[in-house]
Amino acid sequence: MSSASASSNSATSSDASGGASADASSAAGSGPVTAESLSDPDLGYTVVSIPEGLDATQTKILQDYIAYDKATWKLWFTNEGVDEISSVATGDVLEEITTNAENRNGVRAKPPIRISVSEVTMESSDTANVSACVDRTKMTRVDAQGKDITKESDQVQTPATVRMVNESGGGWLAENEDEGAANSCSV
């Protein structure tokens, strides 16, 4: 998955679809949250689908999860922004990302990345899980000199579940990330 391991290799949501949008409006009030509105073409980060029928809390969790995911991919793509990770992650994930960033030796990933979010589920009022599949099949890796060091094992689709925790300011931070077996999901 993007976040912690890119450098190494009780509400439920509805089914996801490419044209899905969250029912709740975005925090900025600019309309519904859609896969397209969450994507970042400049970064090479495309959200393919999101769950339908999310309530306002689930929508905020989704937005904060995507902010976390984009921040980590920005770090892996540019080797910049490690100081920003603490605004989107905490606990084990923050520690793992920071450690991985310190040990990259100039290695970086090159986009594109595609992601499909399938579920946003509440465990409690301050804990939720986001389930997604990340498509890295077209992503490459280069060393500090720009030489392609991509391995077949880098170019996979990987399922992940990220635990998000509610911070006192109302935002949600990534706290833990569990990856499934490579190529056991599809974007």
Using one digit for the tens of pLDDT, what is the confidence trace for 65-101? 999 999 999 999 999 999 999 999 999 999 999 999 9
24 versus 46: the higher-pLDDT residue is 46
Q: Do 96 and 174 meet the contact criterion of CB atoms below 8 Å apart?
A: no
Max Cα–Cα distance, the chain, nearest Å: 49
Residue 43 predicted with pLDDT over 80 = yes
C-alpha span between 120 and 161 (Å, rounded): 10
119-125 mean pLDDT: 95
- What is the torsional sign of CA 142, 132, 65, 177? negative
User: Per residue in 56-74, pLDDT tens?
Assistant: 999 999 999 999 999 999 9
pLDDT of residue 167: 84
The whole-chain average pLDDT of the chain stands at 87
Place of tokens 């949600």: 172
pTM of the model: 0.85
pLDDT of residue 30: 54
- Paired with 151 in beta bridges are none
Lowest mean pLDDT among 19-28, 111-120, 143-152: 19-28
pLDDT of residue 12: 35
Q: Do 91 and 175 meet the contact criterion of CB atoms below 8 Å apart?
A: yes
- Paired with 89 in beta bridges are 174
pLDDT of residue 176: 95
10-15 mean pLDDT: 35
pLDDT of residue 31: 67
pLDDT of residue 170: 80
C-alpha span between 155 and 86 (Å, rounded): 28
Helix (H) or strand (E) holding 62: helix 56-78
